[in-house]
Structures are given as C-alpha cells and as structure tokens.
Chain A
Amino acid sequence: MNKIILGLKTASVKAAALALLAASLLASQTALAAVHDISLTAEILPNGQYGYKRGDKAVIPGPTLFVKQGDTVNVTVTNNTDKPAGFKVPGLSTATAAQAAPNGGTLSYTFTATRTGAYPYYGEGQQLLGLFGAVVVDSADGKAESFVDGDGAVRSIRTTDLSRQFVLFMVGSTFWATEISKTGMETPLWTNPTLGAVENEIVRFHVLSIGPGHTFHLHAHRWLEQGTTSVIDTRLMADVADSHTFTVKAGTGVGAGDWQYHCHLFSHMEAGMHGSFKVYSTKGPNKGTGNSIAGASPYGAIFGNTSNDPGLVTFVISDEPGMWFRSARSETIFSVTSSTRSLEVIPPGSSVNFIMADTNTVHTMTSLLWPSAAGNPSNGHHSNNGNDKSRGRGTAHTEHASMPFDQTRAYKGGGIVKLTTPGLYVFTCKVHPYMFGAVIVDDPDTEGLDLGDTINLATGIVNLPTSSDLATRLLRTFFIATAPNNWQKFNSPTPWKITYPSVPVRITGGAVANLSEVLTARYGNDVALTPQFSPAVPGVGEVWVDTQFEKTAGKTKPGTITVVDTSNWKVLRKIALPQINMNNPHNMWTNRDQSVVYQTQWFDNKLTLINQKTGALIKNIRVGEAPAHVMTRPDNDDITVTNNGEDGISLIPAGTTEVSQMLPTQKSGQQATNPHGHWISADGTQVVTPNIFTSDVGFYDLNSGAILERTPTGENAPGAHPIAIAMMPDSSKYYAANLLHHSVSVLDGRGTLKKTINLIADYNPIDGTIQDRDGDGQATVGILPIQLPVSPDGRSVVVANMGESIIVIDTMTDRVVKMLPCDAGCHGANFGAKKGGGYYAYVTSKFSNELIVVDTDPNNDGNLSDAMIAGRVSLVSDSSVPADDQISSLAGYGGQGVLAIPNVYNSWVKNLPGEWKEQLTAAQQDPSLRQD
C-alpha cells in the first residue's frame, strides 16, 4: 500500500518558522505562523480518473494537507493531464484562480489558513473525477474537536490524543477515503472501504463533499455539530462543497461491531453509498489492531491493468449524445472497441463507479440486463399489487449485492456496484432509457470475453440465452446507440456501416465466437440506405423536429430544433438557442394561436418559449427535473409539463411564465411515478400520464388535482416502462406504449384496461424469425415502442419503434394492420395536415438524420392496409438555411419530439386562428365529425 507522508512533515517550512516550531507545539496561540511550500501534480490514473500526486503515486482523495491556523500555504500544481487543472480552496480563499495548462503547465497558488476545520481543495472542472483532496487546518493551540463519551460527558482533547484520522469524501454516490495514522502516515483506502478502529480509540473523521449534496450517517455513534453543543449522528453535506470534522470514541456506550456508515439520501443508499466502521474489541476473538480494508481502486484489476487488488472502472454520466455512460478512459477503450465509449471490461470482484459529472439533471443507474446467475429476480422485486409496481431493488441477503441494481427515485449523484458473476451487464437510466453503459465481467481463465450463458432482463424475462436473437439484437442496439460513427448518414452515398468490436466472446454453452462476425452475419452490414424523396402531396404549414443530438459551435450542450417547410420539404430554419445553452430539446407544443412554441429540455430543468415566426427566444423557465413532454389544455391554453425526473406535472397558467404548482401524480407516501409523454382530454379537464417508474397509466383531474385512476400496464411485468400516451379525438380511448414490454395498452376514458396489443407476438426471441403467430394475417414486429399518436380523425395509431419499425394499428379493431420500416433509433411521431385533406404522420429517429413521412390512408378510404412511407426528408441544413448558431457536428441527428404547425388534433384545431384554419379542409377543421 502506498504511503504518503503527512503534509506537516514534508512541507518545507521556512527557517524562521522552523526555529519556533517547538514553541508552537506548546499550545502557544502567538506562535509565528509557518509557511508551507507544497508541490502537487495532477495525473491521469489507470482507469482514466484524475488525481493529485505528491510522492510516488496520484491518489483519490489527494494528499491531505495538514496546517495550523494562521499558516500560509503555497501550492504549485504541475498539470500532467489532458484537461486544464488547478487548485482552489473555496472555504479558505475566494480567489478564482487560473488553471494550469494541460500536458505540463505549471501554476502557483497561495492561501492563508484563516479558519480551523477541514476544507476541500480541488481542480475546478475535474473535481468530480477525482481531482480533490482535503486541507485540514488545526487550531494553533493543539486542541481537537471534543467528543461525546458513553456517559454523556463532552471531553476535550488534543490532536496528540487522536489514534487515527479518516478523510472521507462524498462524491457522486461513492465514498473516497484515506487514513492518517497517529504518526502521520497516510494510506489511501479508495472507495467505500472498511474503516478500522479499536474500541475506545479516539478517532477523528473529516467528512467532505463536492458536487450534489448528501447526509452523512454513522451507526451507533454521536458527535458534536461543529461550533455548538448539539449532539448529532447525521449531518447534511450541502450542494457544491461542504465539510464537517468530528471526533468519536470508537464504540463508546455501544461496544465493538461492524457499524455501517452511509449517505442517508435514499437513492444514494440504493446506489451503493455505504461502508463499514469496524470497531474491534480489545480482547476475545474479535480482538484486532484496527486495520482498515481498502476498497476498489483505480489502480486495481481492470481490463488492461493487472493487479491483485479489486479494480474500479468509472462511467461519466453525460448529456453528450451517444456518450451518456462514457468510460473515464474512453480513448483507451475506444481504441479497443473501435466504436463505443460506453463498454468496460473488468474481472470478477472489481467494481463499477458512476458519476453524474457532465449532466444538468437527475438520472438513475439501473440494470437493464444482467447475467442470470448474478441475481434472482423473485427475491428482489416489489410486490405487484395495487399501484406500487416497480422494478427490483436488488437482492438483500447475499454478500454480493445486487442485481438488479436500481434506485427508487431519480437523483443527482452517481453509484457504485461490485460485480462478481462473469457475464454481460447493461445499465441504463430509467428517465432516459437509451442511455446505455455495458460492462463485461470477464473470467480471465476462460477463452473469450464472457457474455455468460443466459441473461435476465428488467422486464422479467429470465434465462434468455446470450446466443438468442433478442440478446444479440439488444447488443446491436447498444453498439448503434452508443457510437455516433455507427449512425445512419442519409446525406452520404456510402452504405451504412456499423463497426462492432472484433473480439472473441464466450456465449451460451461455452461457445466462443467473434462478436463482430456474429452480429454482421445476423443483421448484415454495409447496407445501402433508402434514397430520400419528397412526398408527392405537400403538407400544411411547418414540421418542427427536435434534432436533439445536433451540435453547434456556440454551445456545450447538444440539440437544435429543425424546422421543415412542408410546402417544399426543405429545412426552413435551425434553432439552437446558444444564449441559453439549450440542452437536449426533447418535445414541443404550441399555444392556441401557434405564435409560441413550448420546448422542453429533457437533460435539464427548463421549459423554453420560442417565437414561432422568428425562432427567437422568448423566455427560459425552470419547471422541474428532466421535463419531458409539454401540452396545452385545449379549453384554456394553460401549459402542462411532465417532470420525468420527479413526481408531478408542472402547471403554468396561460399568459404567465412561472410554474404555479406541481400536480402530484401519486398520493403522498407512494412511490414516485416519473411521468413521460402525457396527453390531455379533448375537453381539457383530464391529463393522462405514462408513469415510467411505477409501470402504470395515471388519470388526473386537472381542475381539482384528484387522482382518478392508476391502471397498471404491461401485464405485471416488473418494468413495462410505459412512455407515451395517445388519445382518440373524443377521448373515448387512450393508448399507451410500453417501451420494455413491447406492447400497446388500450384503455377507455375512465382508465379501464381494455386490451394489451402485443407487438412482438409474431417474433421468436430465440431464432429471430417473424411470422404470423397471432393469427391476424400479418407478420409484424414492434420492438421498443415509443411514441404512438392517434390520427386527428381517430382512424389510425402510428407506433414508432426503436427496433426500426413503424406499426400501424386500426382503432376500429385495435389490431396491427401494417408494418413499415423505420430508421435506427426510431422514436417520435405526430400527425399534421396533408394539403387537400387527410394527414401525414411525421416519424423521427434518433440515430438517423432524416424525417420519415407516413401516410396511413393514401386513398382516404378508411382501409389502412395501403399505409405507406410517403417521403423521406433530410434534416441536414446547408449554409443557406437561417440558423442562430453554427452546426458543428452530428448534423440532423437525434430526431425525437416532432410537432406539426398548425396543430390539427381535435379540440386544439378548433382554436386555430384564421390564417391557419383557412389552409385546412372542412373535415380537417372539425375532425370529430368522422366520415366513415
């Protein structure tokens, strides 16, 4: 174990101060302050995390700098990383210091230790990845924090009475620790370690935090809130940066034992944020010297880094397209996988760390699939009764927690999980379910990378062979979603090439195959893309597409709105809104007169108001975490926004720009619903939400806020993941897409489940064959359905499936009548008016840069069997297209929310101003008069 000498001993203390050092140790308040000259370097660790180094090895937390109150500290930082790195101590110096340049830049910093206590120091920008440490400022008189003894007495002590000290950083949802012995030797303990002590030792804890806040709790011990006589056992660590130093007498009043320490934020507990304070007895079989046990470390065993210690790979959770789970050593991994930056490989017993370091909203770190041998789902799930259906919370009673890994509420922070069973693990975010990170736990003694025999899925599918079509199809989806180089580029003449890792993998039955060859053999490669063509009949007005991944030069966050003119099918405008760094624009709606477009920022907490005619910003409003969909009430034009990261719907009264209230989508005390794509009844009084976290559809009265009904969907699958709602024009029926259950639920206006349409009934998940198995005369498949609007005339439902298909459902029979091909990452759909009568469904795809135009009834005879793709429209703009920012990369990609202007859904269409209304036919103006 690497040992680093305590700061006080290595700082080169100036000669004048040195002469008086002895005097200062004699508790003299008037001792001349010392000057410390400290040299640090910033380094990249083997797993790609950053760390400060002084001595032979960079560590997380960085070296603990012990000084005394009044001392001056000079720090020189040499930056050996690839990013700017500096040194700041917000608690002691308010100076906003410059950063040392990457690759060898050096900069010096000075601060005075004006106040006692522990303070985080860190390199701004890289601190959540490990560039942090603690400055401990001790009182010049040698006193340390008093402790509360077992008899209740508060005993004052000196630092010389301390048997040991721990520095515990709370970062993301992981503890990073280091121990300082009585003699000042510092030993890194890495992540979530077992902190050792002998009963009745005086132990000092320096708890520090950076990033999103926490509460620190240590079982069965009490201590003093600093500066007060208040006895506490849990302490808030505030957002951004905080610190708290206290002293305990180990086991006083309670005895020896393995006492848990943990963050007490519930989601952080679920995300693995805990360790043990092991108080050894002074005699008996549990007698011990108080040795600590280090946790998984960036220097431990991971792919490409051999070690006998448990290793740690770290995923940075990011708003960046395709890199939502970006390995901290992504460049290294990228060179191996040749495509994705979201795949890691570790040996059994190492751990995976998640840190939400590059995102503006909340997420979960949730198992999507895992090796069957790693968890028994029947042991980890909630009950399926009532409305409290959810995914698993991990298994409780095994030493190795814990598949599936999941958190009940979306949150800010991170996560850490130890993986012991070889095989394939894929993690996702329940809020943003195409964020993927994969880990292969590979037994080094077997041939090929271990994908395992079988996997379990979050939806309750168990023991699915890794050799099955469904398993390899999901793998293919992963390699497309997480690798922008693998996206469909329709503005290029070259065929669509997907680059897979060319590595041997061990699958069902111990067979070893080349991953790239298997996927290419099954699904082809270098596929020629269908040429684009414009629909023969123009549409009415404009189509606004959230090209959510398109990058522009003036923003750090991705996303534009691409406005398409349906008279000529050309891009009319690009709207990036660099002045607000618009972040992942996801879904839109308009006000009554169509003059204002409402835009949600799904990886943020904002709703943006945009001028429809000019594309100019009107206002940016805070609404709630991860706002997903926005809709107006047709009766009064009030705005409703689903907060996908939280538990309610934000209401913004028409004409105002502030949230007046958040309508709860569950009763108090029930599990949070985290609604996504809602719809509002034709009379405006009722909102219907797909409740992702609780796998149900909620019906709510918008006037009273009453919860009218919560109807479970997905036939009791633990994670059906209902994601979008659609509605018949007279609100007589609602449709819900169950993303992970591959089904559509049909409910009546009161919330009674009438039918579940299985979109994969014709699909054999083992061999991948698609044939008519449900006897409807069609061979169709809709894997991962997302948006599914009902046409304004109520005839058809168009379902956009991420599994590259469009399914058309006839609302008369609620049966699938047609399957059409769709692009990679098929996602959004909405209807607009076709010129001269009828409707187009506009379908978007995340991993392509075009818009597909579907005509579900070209001859308008009510028979949908002739549904067809009417056109394929490029979303890539050239320099002639007006734009408020310069497109820099991923041009036209990320198609998600889509909105036709004018808005021609029943009720809304009736409020259109004359300039729009006059472009519609009589039937389009009043679609409730169904003409069959």
Chain B
Amino acid sequence: MKYQHSDAMEDFFASDLLRHSSITFSFKRFCGGLALPSVLCLTLLSLPMEESAAAEHRIEMAAEQLEDGVLAYRMVEHQVDKVNITSRYSKQATVPGPTIVLTEGDKVRLTIRNGISMSPDQQVSVHVHGVHYNILSDGSLKIINKIDNEGAYPDHGGHFYTYIWDVAPGTAGTWPYHDHNFETHNGAEDRGLYGAVIVNPASGTVTASNGSSISSIPVAGIRKDYVLYLSDDAFWGMEIDGATRQQTPLGANPLLSATSGDNVRFHLIAMGTYLNRFQLEGYQWVDPGTARLIGSKDIGPLENHAFTIKALGSANYMNANFSRKLMGMKGSFIVTNAVPH
C-alpha cells in the first residue's frame, strides 16, 4: 500500500503537522490497522499528544447482517477518555446504527469490523460527513481515493480498519455516517448501513423554539434527542435520553413520546433515492442558521436538518412526498403532561 511509504506519508501528513494538532493523533491509526511495520508504529506512538480539554473517543463498531437481508452497524465498544460508555447502546445491530454523540473539539478513533458473511467477501467502511479527517479516513474505495480500500473485510482474517476524526471547531451539527464500500464504490447505505453523528457545539447552547418564540438553551437542557432517518420507505428512529444518554432503537415510523414542556431535539437525515418533505403538524421550528420559523422542510438524501422545540402538544409527523406518504411514512409525536409530584 502506497501510504506505507514514508514519502507518501510526508506528503499527506507532514505539512499538516505544523498546523493541526489533530494530525498528530491521526498517526496512531496505523498501529491498529496492521498496516505498518512495528518499528514505524512505535516511532509514531512516541510522538507527543497535545493536551486538550476535549474528549478522546475510542470506538469499535461492527457491520452485521440482520434478518430479511438488512445490514446494520452495532456498537462493540465506546470509551471516552478511557471511560467505557458501551452500555448506553443497544446490544444488537440497529437501523439506524449507533448514534455517536460528540462535542466540537473532540477526537475520535473509530475501528470498523466486518461481521457480514457472504460469498465473495465484501468490504464495509464508515464514511462520515461533517467532521475533519484526512484522505486515509475517507472510508471509500481506492478507485475513488486513489490510495487504499479504506474498509474492513470479514473478520476471519482479523481484518479491520481504523478511522481518525477531528471533531474540529466549525463542525457542530448532525451528520450521517454510512458504508461506502460494500459491493461497489456506492456502498450499502441503502441496505441499512447508516447512522448519525451528533456534534454538539462547544458553546454548549442550541437554538430552540417555544411556539413562535426563539431562545437559546443549554444542550444539557435537552430531555430527548430523536434521530429520524428518512429512508426510502420509512422513518427509522433512535431515541437518546438526555439524562442517562441511553440509546433506544425505535424501529420504523416510530411513536415519539415527550413530556409537555420538555425541550426535545429532532435530527432528520434523509437516505435513498426519493426527495422528501418533512412536516410536524402544528409546530414551528428554527431553520438552522437563521432566525426564521418554518413548519415544513424539503430534505434530499444525506442532507441533515436538526432543530430543538419545546414539546407543547401531540402532533403527527410525516413525509409529504406523494407516494411516500401513501406508503405510510408518518408517525406520532405524543406529548403527555408531567405527572404531578
């Protein structure tokens, strides 16, 4: 592989080292990837890590096959600054995959393993949007990136691939990650290999709407996060509890529940071939990056749209696309009153 050659490494990393501390971190990827001679590995490991208040994530995920031919990611292990938080995730592979919650300034080292058995072997990868990474963490095939097939073949040979993400300032938002390598250079995102990355802003605050008023609230004040993937034939949901950070897969066209008065955050990402129109009846929310309130949003594949609202009453959400709505792409947002103490 070309990048084992020191010239190439210098080309891709040396000039950046001067400016981006994240790249120092990125050198460590080689040691996990079985790609480099151990001597070189040790050399790289001895490079100093810069001190940072930001968290360091070590994540291992697996791609697996569910029944009905659906493929999905499973969280194997997630350590944040060496604290194991794996129990927050489903033990099974899920659609959407595990939601990776980060904060601007964090660093991520993510290893993908391939538990999909079929003949011939197929590669899986994690291609992420939004955050920073160099060309070796693109999660694409060599035919695209001209350097390497940046994914994992099935585990029987002990193969895996490790990506380094720099959750740099300016990357706050909700982003998709998905496979890019299964069978073709388009990958198998359409078969279930997708999930969400939430990058919370370093400022610790997000914009929220309360009816028609707009305010800034702390991220810590969000009681629930709902990840809703608009796939071609259903919304696929994942809920994250604001207090426990526990993730609960909600399945297709889920019922979303909230307590009246709570601030909840929706994370919409589209995936597939259809163009969608998201509506949450009776609610208005802030169009990201503006002070405008909207009640409907057109979302195309791999676009994202995140907003925070105060739960005021029950409502239906739907995809207003003609045939997708008829196919049942809709669900309920049920808001109940808090139980009095």
Cβ contacts B223-236/A at 8 Å (1 or 0 each): 00000000111101
- The answer on a CB contact under 8 Å between B120 and A378 is yes
**Given A281-B15, A282-B15, A669-B233, A401–B185 Cβ distance below 8 Å?**
yes
Q: Which of B135, B175, B298 has the most CB of A within 10 A?
A: B135
Q: Name which of A385-393, A522-530, A900-908 contacts chain B.
A: A385-393
Residue ID in chain B nearest A663 by CB atoms? B327
A613 within 8 A of B: no
Cβ contacts B189-214/A at 8 Å (1 or 0 each): 11110000000000000000000000
B62 within 8 A of A: no
- The answer on a CB contact under 8 Å between B300 and A396 is no
For B233, the chain A residues whose CB sits under 8 A away are 647, 664, 666, 668-669, 672
- The answer on a CB contact under 8 Å between B303 and A234 is yes
B301 within 8 A of A: yes
B299 within 8 A of A: yes
Q: Could you tell me the distance between the alpha carbons of A269 and B271 in the complex, rounded to whole angstroms?
A: 12
B140 within 8 A of A: yes
For A153, the chain B residues whose CB sits under 8 A away are 169-170
- The answer on a CB contact under 8 Å between A659 and B134 is no
Per the CB 8 Å criterion, the residue count for chain A at the interface is 92
- The answer on a CB contact under 8 Å between B145 and A284 is no
B68 within 8 A of A: yes
- The answer on a CB contact under 8 Å between B272 and A266 is yes
- The answer on a CB contact under 8 Å between A234 and B304 is yes
Residue ID in chain A nearest B7 by CB atoms? A285
- The answer on a CB contact under 8 Å between A409 and B300 is no
- The answer on a CB contact under 8 Å between B234 and A230 is no
B87 within 8 A of A: no
Q: Name which of B32-40, B283-291, B308-316 contacts chain A.
A: B283-291
A222 within 8 A of B: yes
Q: Smallest Cβ distance from A494 to chain B, in angstroms?
A: 47
For A151, the chain B residues whose CB sits under 8 A away are 168-170
Q: Could you tell me the distance between the alpha carbons of A829 and B135 in the complex, rounded to whole angstroms?
A: 58
Cβ contacts B54-69/A at 8 Å (1 or 0 each): 0000000000000111
- The answer on a CB contact under 8 Å between A213 and B170 is no
- The answer on a CB contact under 8 Å between A260 and B144 is yes
Contact check: which of B183, B185, B302 meets A264 at CB < 8 Å?
Answer: B302
Q: Smallest Cβ distance from A27 to chain B, in angstroms?
A: 25
- The answer on a CB contact under 8 Å between A646 and B298 is no
- The answer on a CB contact under 8 Å between A231 and B173 is yes
Q: Name which of A74-82, A235-243, A301-309, A790-798 contacts chain B.
A: A235-243
**Given A213-B275, A388-B68, A625-B323, A231–B302 Cβ distance below 8 Å?**
no
- The answer on a CB contact under 8 Å between A671 and B191 is yes
For B119, the chain A residues whose CB sits under 8 A away are 383
Contact check: which of B7, B104, B271, B273 meets A267 at CB < 8 Å?
Answer: B273
Q: Could you tell me the distance between the alpha carbons of A237 and B166 in the complex, rounded to whole angstroms?
A: 29
Q: Name which of A177-185, A251-259, A557-565 contacts chain B.
A: A251-259
- The answer on a CB contact under 8 Å between B11 and A281 is yes
Contact check: which of B144, B173, B190, B301 meets A276 at CB < 8 Å?
Answer: B144
Q: Could you tell me the distance between the alpha carbons of A51 and B298 in the complex, rounded to whole angstroms?
A: 32
A397-430 interface with B by 8 A CB criterion: 397-399, 401-402, 408-409, 411
Residue ID in chain A nearest B132 by CB atoms? A253
- The answer on a CB contact under 8 Å between B300 and A265 is yes
Q: Chain B contact residues: over half helix, strand or loop, or mixed?
A: loop
B138 within 8 A of A: yes
B146 within 8 A of A: yes
Q: Smallest Cβ distance from B129 to chain A, in angstroms?
A: 5
**Given A254-B134, A258-B145, A409-B273, A284–B171 Cβ distance below 8 Å?**
no
Q: Could you tell me the distance between the alpha carbons of A234 and B19 in the complex, rounded to whole angstroms?
A: 27
A150 within 8 A of B: yes
- The answer on a CB contact under 8 Å between A253 and B138 is no
For A667, the chain B residues whose CB sits under 8 A away are 68
- The answer on a CB contact under 8 Å between A285 and B11 is yes
- The answer on a CB contact under 8 Å between A230 and B184 is no
Q: Which of B170, B298, B304 has the most CB of A within 10 A?
A: B170
Contact check: which of B144, B172, B186, B299 meets A258 at CB < 8 Å?
Answer: B144
- The answer on a CB contact under 8 Å between B326 and A661 is yes
**Given A379-B120, A622-B322, A659-B326, A253–B20 Cβ distance below 8 Å?**
yes
Residue ID in chain A nearest B190 by CB atoms? A266
B130 within 8 A of A: yes
- The answer on a CB contact under 8 Å between A669 and B11 is no
- The answer on a CB contact under 8 Å between A402 and B303 is no
For B15, the chain A residues whose CB sits under 8 A away are 255, 281-284
B75 within 8 A of A: no
B143 within 8 A of A: yes
For B133, the chain A residues whose CB sits under 8 A away are 220, 254
B142-164 interface with A by 8 A CB criterion: 142-147, 149
Q: Smallest Cβ distance from B203 to chain A, in angstroms?
A: 11
A617-631 interface with B by 8 A CB criterion: 622, 624-625
For A285, the chain B residues whose CB sits under 8 A away are 7-8, 11
For A253, the chain B residues whose CB sits under 8 A away are 20, 132, 166, 168
For B234, the chain A residues whose CB sits under 8 A away are 668-669
Q: Smallest Cβ distance from B91 to chain A, in angstroms?
A: 20
- The answer on a CB contact under 8 Å between A672 and B173 is no
Contact check: which of B140, B170, B299, B304 meets A219 at CB < 8 Å?
Answer: B140
For B104, the chain A residues whose CB sits under 8 A away are 152
Contact check: which of B120, B132, B328 meets A664 at CB < 8 Å?
Answer: B328
B70 within 8 A of A: yes
Residue ID in chain B nearest A670 by CB atoms? B68
B81 within 8 A of A: no
B112-128 interface with A by 8 A CB criterion: 118-120, 123, 127
- The answer on a CB contact under 8 Å between B273 and A396 is no
B102 within 8 A of A: no
Contact check: which of B68, B120, B142, B301 meets A669 at CB < 8 Å?
Answer: B68
- The answer on a CB contact under 8 Å between A222 and B130 is yes
- The answer on a CB contact under 8 Å between B12 and A643 is no
A228 within 8 A of B: yes
- The answer on a CB contact under 8 Å between A234 and B70 is no
Q: Could you tell me the distance between the alpha carbons of A238 and B184 in the complex, rounded to whole angstroms?
A: 27
For B16, the chain A residues whose CB sits under 8 A away are 255
Residue ID in chain A nearest B172 by CB atoms? A231
A14 within 8 A of B: no
Residue ID in chain A nearest B127 by CB atoms? A219
- The answer on a CB contact under 8 Å between A408 and B290 is no
Residue ID in chain B nearest A267 by CB atoms? B273
Q: Could you tell me the distance between the alpha carbons of A148 and B19 in the complex, rounded to whole angstroms?
A: 16
- The answer on a CB contact under 8 Å between A396 and B130 is no
A214 within 8 A of B: yes
- The answer on a CB contact under 8 Å between B298 and A236 is yes
- The answer on a CB contact under 8 Å between A396 and B95 is no
- The answer on a CB contact under 8 Å between A647 and B183 is no
For A265, the chain B residues whose CB sits under 8 A away are 272-273, 275, 300-301
For A670, the chain B residues whose CB sits under 8 A away are 68-70
Residue ID in chain B nearest A212 by CB atoms? B275
Q: Smallest Cβ distance from B107 to chain A, in angstroms?
A: 13
A255-310 interface with B by 8 A CB criterion: 255-260, 264-270, 274, 276, 281-286
In order of increasing CB-CB distance, the 10 nearest A-B pairs are: A152-B170, A230-B289, A152-B169, A257-B135, A388-B69, A228-B289, A284-B11, A236-B300, A215-B300, A668-B234
Beyond A228-B287, A260-B145, A671-B69, 18 additional contacts (C-beta under 8 Å) are: A153-B169, A217-B302, A231-B130, A235-B300, A237-B300, A238-B275, A239-B275, A253-B132, A257-B146, A265-B273, A270-B186, A283-B11, A283-B15, A285-B7, A386-B68, A396-B183, A647-B233, A650-B326
Residues of B within 8 A of A (CB): 7-8, 10-16, 19-20, 23, 67-70, 95, 104, 118-120, 123, 127, 129-130, 132-135, 138, 140-147, 149, 166, 168-173, 175, 181, 183-186, 189-192, 231-234, 236, 252-253, 271-273, 275, 287-290, 298-304, 322-323, 326-328
Q: List 21 A-B contacts (CB under 8 A).
A: A149-B170, A225-B288, A232-B303, A233-B129, A234-B300, A234-B303, A237-B300, A258-B146, A260-B140, A274-B144, A276-B144, A387-B69, A396-B123, A396-B181, A397-B142, A408-B273, A647-B232, A647-B233, A661-B327, A664-B233, A668-B234
